[in-house]
Amino acid sequence: MTSPAAAKDILKSVFGFADFRPGQQDIMDHLLGGENVLAVMPTGSGKSLCYQVPGIILDRLTVVISPLVALMDDQVSALQSLGVAAECIHSGKTRDANVVAWRAVQSGTCPILYLSPERLMTERMLSAIGNLNPAMFVVDEAHCISKWGANFRPEYESLSALKDRFPDATLAAFTATADEATRRDIAGKLFSGHGKTIVHGFDRPNLYLAVAPKTTWKKQLLTFVESRRGQPGVVYCLSRRLTEEVSAFLNHNDIRALPYHAGLGPEQRRENQEIFMAEDGIVMVATIAFGMGIDKPDIRYVFHTNLPSSMEAYYQEIGRAGRDGAPADVSLIYGLDDIRMRRRFIDEDGAEQAHKFREHKRLDALLAYCEATECRRVTLLSYFDEATQPCGNCDNCLYPPTVIDATAAAKDVFNVAIATGQAFGAAHLIDVLRGTKTAKVEERNHDALPHFGAGAHQSKPYWQGFIRQAVAGGFMYIDIENYGRLRLTKRAEHVLAGAERFSMREETEADIKAAKPGKKPLRELNAEDNDLFAELKNLRRQLAKERNVPAYVIFPDATLSEMAAHRPSSLNALATINGVGPKKLDQYGAVFLQVISAARA
C-alpha cells in the first residue's frame, strides 16, 4: 500500500495545487490501497486528478479507457505540459507516432496510457499489456458500460472482461451521471460488486437553472446571448441543419459563433474547438457531438434550443458550464414539437422494447423537470436520488410560477380530441377549440361539433402551452406510429369523469426568465488587475497557439486571475500561485513575470 501522503506531494510538485478538492483524497486513498472504486462526481469536480495522481505514484502502468480521441489528446497534452510522460494510442495518430508511444510504455518510462475501448479490447493489445503487469485500469465516462444508462455503448460492455483477465489490477470507474440502478450495473460488470461506490453528489450550486416555453426561439436566443456578449457559451441544437442556421444567425447579429457537428470534417471540428478553447467570448453552436471531456473551465452559459434526450443528457450538457466554480447560467426552451421529435427518435431507434421503455421514462422525467412548479434543483437532484432544499438559484425559486386549476379547460380539450376521433395533432385541435374555420375543419364538419369555439376566449399560444403541459403531465400522448396524433390517457379519462383535477402553470407571453448577466467573477479584480488579467490571457493564447495545445493546458483562468491579483515579482513568488507547478514554472515562469513586471512599472 502506498502512503496517502505521497498523493499530496504529487499534487503540489506536479500539478501546483496546495489542497485537494472535496472528495478527491478519499478516492485516491482507496485506489492507492488497491481497492476497486466507482466514483460518481459532478462535472468540474476534478475527476481526472483522482486517477492521474495515483497513476503517477504507482510503480506499474495505469491504463485509462476513454471514449473520444480529442479527450485523450487533450488530457495527454495537459499531462505532458506538467512533465508527466503520458501517452495515447489511437487511429487519429500516424503509425510511427503510435509505435513511439508504445515503446515508451514498454520501456517503463510512461506511467499512464490512454486507449479507446475498441483499441484496448483486441487480443493483441490485451496480450501486450498483460506482459507489463498493469497496476490499474481506469474507465472514464463509465455510464457508457451500462444498458441502464442513457448513453450505453456496446464497445464499452466488453470491458467487463478486464476483471478476469487482470485479477491483480485495480479497477476504477468515473462518471458524472449515474442513478442508483446504473451504479449497481457498472459495479457489477466491472468488478462484480467487489469494490467501493463513492457518490460525491450531483449538485452544481453555481449554475442558475431556467426553462421556458419555446415561443419565438430566435428572439429568445438572441435576448439571452446578447445580454452575455463577450462571455464564452455553448448553444445546443438538435440537428446539424439547425446548428448551421443558429451559428449564421448569431454571426449576422455581430456575435461570433462557430458551428460544431458530425457533418463537419475532423479538421474543421478540431479548428473550431481550438478557437473556442483559446479565444475569449466565442459561442460554440453544437449538437451533442460536442461536449464530452471538453475542459474549458470558464464557459459562462449553456443554452438549449431543443429538448435534450433525457435527464442524464441534460445534466451532462449543462455540466459544461461553470466548471471554474463561478456563476453560470443554463437555460432551456422547448415546445410540443420537441416532445414529438424525441418520442419519434426513441421509437425509431431499432433497439429492444425494454430499452425503448427506459428511454421514454427518462424523457418523462425530463418533461416533469421542465414543467415543475417547485425548485428545479430539488427536481433535478431527486432524479439522481439526492435530496436537497430549495436553492434560490433557479427561475422557479426567484420567479415562482402561478399554478391554476384548469380542469374546465382540460375537459374542453379532451372532449374535442374525442369528438374528432383522436386522429389529429395539436394544430387542428386548437383550430376547433378556438372556432377557426380552416379548410380542414370545414371539410370534416368539425365546425358543427358541440365544443367548436369553446376555447375562443384564449389565444393560440395559450392552447399550445396547455397541450404541451397536458402531454408532459401524462394526460395526452403523441402517437408516433400514427403521424403524431394526440390521444388521451387514463389520466385524461379520470379528469372527464370528475375523478381528477387538472392543474397547470399559468402560461404567459414572457420570454425566458434569465439570470442577470455580469455576475461575480472568479475573483474580485480592480480595473488595473483586470487589464493585467487580459494581458496574461493574450500571452497564454499566443503560447497555446505556438505549441498547438488548448489554452487551459498552459494555465487555467483561475491561475491567471490569482497572478493578476497578487502580481508575484519572482519565480519563487510565482511558484506559490495555485496551478503553477515546477514544470510550468520552468517553461513559462519568466515570460509571465515579464508581463506582470511591465504592468507594475
Domain limits, the chain: 5-199, 207-398, 403-505, 527-600
3-state secondary structure 391-458: CCCEHHHHCCCCEEECHHHHHHHHHHHHHCCCCCCHHHHHHHHHCCCCHHHHHCCHHHCCCCCCCCCC
Based on the number of CB atoms within 10 Å of its own CB, is 477 exposed (0-12), middle (13-18) or buried (19 or more)? middle
Exposed/middle/buried for 19, CB within 10 Å: 0-12, 13-18, 19+? exposed
Rounded to an integer, what distance in angstroms lies between the CA atom of residue 278 and that of residue 274? 6
pTM across the whole model: 0.80
b/e per residue 364-374 (b: at least 16 CB within 10 A): ebbbebbbbee
> 373 Cβ partners below 8 Å, 6+ apart?
396, 400, 401, 403, 505
pLDDT at 143: 87
What is the rounded CA–CA span in Å between residue 449 and residue 420? Answer: 9
Residue pair 177/150 in contact (Cβ under 8 Å)? The answer is yes
Q: Answer positive or negative: Cα dihedral of 460, 465, 471, 473.
A: negative
Q: How much helix, strand and coil, in percent to the nearest 5, is found in the chain?
A: 50, 10, 40
CATH 1.10.10.10 fits 403-505, yes or no: yes
Decide if domain 527-600 falls under CATH 1.10.150.80.
Answer: yes
Q: Which CATH architecture has domain 207-398?
A: 3-Layer(aba) Sandwich (3.40)
Using DSSP's 3-state secondary structure scheme, residue 305 falls into coil
**Up-side HSE of residue 64: CA atoms within 13 Å toward CB?**
31
Find out whether 304 and 331 touch, Cβ atoms under 8 Å.
yes
Could you say which DSSP state residue 140 is in?
S
Q: In this predicted model, what pLDDT tens digit does every residue of 340-397 receive, in sequence order?
A: 999 999 988 877 888 788 888 889 989 999 999 999 999 999 888 888 999 999 999 9
On the question of a common fold for 5-199 and 403-505, the answer reads no
Angle at 486 between CA 483 and CA 488, to 5 degrees: 140
The predicted structure's pLDDT at residue 449: 95
CATH for 5-199, options being 3.40.190.10, 3.40.50.300, 3.30.565.10, 1.10.10.10: 3.40.50.300
Q: What's the pLDDT at 274?
A: 80
What is the amino acid identity at position 220? Q
Q: For residues 458-470, b (16+ Cβ closer than 10 Å) or e, as one string? A: beeebbbbbbbbb
Residue 35: count of CB within 10 angstroms of its CB: 17
Instruction: State the pLDDT at residue 1.
Output: 47
CA distances from 336 to 331, 468, 548 (A): 17, 5, 44
Instruction: Note the pLDDT of residue 291.
Output: 60
Residues of the chain with pLDDT under 70: 1-4, 148-151, 289, 291-295, 508-524, 601
